[in-house]
Amino acid sequence: MSFDLPPYDGPLVIIPLALLAALLTGWLLVRAGLLDIPDETRRLGCLDGLRGYLALMVAVHHFDIWRNVFQGLSWGAPSGHLYNNLGQAGVGLFFMASGALFYRKVAKEMLRLDWVSLYLSRLFRIVPLMWLATALVLLLVLYRGGTPQSSDGAALLKWLTFVANPDLMGHPHTSRIIAHVVWSLRYEWVFYFALPLLALVLSVTSPRRVPNILVLIAGTAVLLFVPGLWFGPFAGILISFFGLGMIAVELASWPRVNRLLSRWPVAFLGIAALATQMKVFPGAFNPISGVLLFAFFTPVLAGNSYFGLLTRKGSIALGEVSYGIYLLHGIVLSVWMEDLIPRIGERFGASWLALPLLLVIIVLLATLTFLLVEKPMITAGKHLARLRRPARARA
């Protein structure tokens, strides 16, 4: 296969331009009234402005993998540290964000938390878009000539329940259509189901005046630095990112620490930590990378906007649709690389020059599915939770 690229397509120049194009798209969507900016009282520091960039980092990571596949290489980690860490650091920081958001709820209410409502909200938040993504995958497989197989029923059930993503209708590497991203959602569910245990531990230690942060540090350190304990080294490190997010909440809640971390000079240190992780380490799933990403993440919770970037309306808009960006970008990249490039040509289609256009398309698709699927289903989940409360009060 020939691969006719321009002599230089400058990924280190194109990637920032592509992210800028996505930011501008988010701003235009807010200006057009299609996306709303959440009330400031709902926000945790500047986290809403970060989430969209994390999802876009993963999209860039998979774009580089697709370029390698297009050149005849197998699907696997990109060759360069930067391109691999765009994906792994993005996922690690996503896990920290989840840890931070749900720790606030658990630490405040502990065992009094309405667990059924919490799990209903997660169910209505995560599952509908995954089912839509699965439907889109099925349509794409049919378009590419897939034929029904006797094993499709069991395989489809695994897709819909997040258990696994086996091939459908005889289409090889079906999971590649969504860039194999569902593995991280399984870790999210593990975290959600571990929250009652966390609440139980805190309810025991808090009355004994054991600071929550000491409990969190101890648990996270075990996961980070004791290989093979319970989960295996890889899984333990991944789960530890949720703990790092919780520790960041505790640190950012201390007034003096918060004031320090929110100052603009600290942004330089956070950027330096992130740059060191991406440049020095081949991947993010190791203890030192976790600490470096924590150093970047904690100022965000303290309200450090990293020179105003994370408080831009476009950034917050990207955060609103970040789940759609994360879950659906693989479909856009698959269609582009496998179905459209033969029509538009390799010179542009498989080069980094296509990245800005692709990120804009991904943001627009994520916005469409947010408005038509995510937002209505989130509202339905909240309504169902409200219906439960009077019955719960009577009981």
User: The tokens 């030192």 sit on which residue?
Assistant: 288
Tell me the average pLDDT across 281-296: 95
Q: CB atoms < 10 A from the CB of 319, how many?
A: 27
- Return d(Cα 376, Cα 382) in angstroms, integer: 10
- Return d(Cα 132, Cα 48) in angstroms, integer: 24
Q: How far is CA 78 from the centre of its chain?
A: 19
Structure confidence at residue 8 (pLDDT): 46
Structure confidence at residue 3 (pLDDT): 43
- Angle among Cα 245, 250, 251 to the nearest 5 degrees reads 95
Number of H-type helices and E-type strands within the chain: 17, 0
- Phi and psi based region of residue 390 (left: phi greater than 0; alpha: psi -120 to 50; beta: remaining): alpha
Tell me the average pLDDT across 171-188: 95
Q: Of 62, 44, 29, 54, which is closest to residue 319 (Cα–Cα)? A: 54
Prediction pTM value? 0.93
Structure confidence at residue 233 (pLDDT): 59
Structure confidence at residue 121 (pLDDT): 92
Q: Of 233, 300, 236, which is closest to residue 54 (Cα–Cα)? A: 300
Tell me the average pLDDT across 280-285: 94
Is the per-residue pLDDT at 234 higher than 80? no
Q: Report the half-sphere exposure of 259 (CA within 13 A, side-chain side).
A: 2
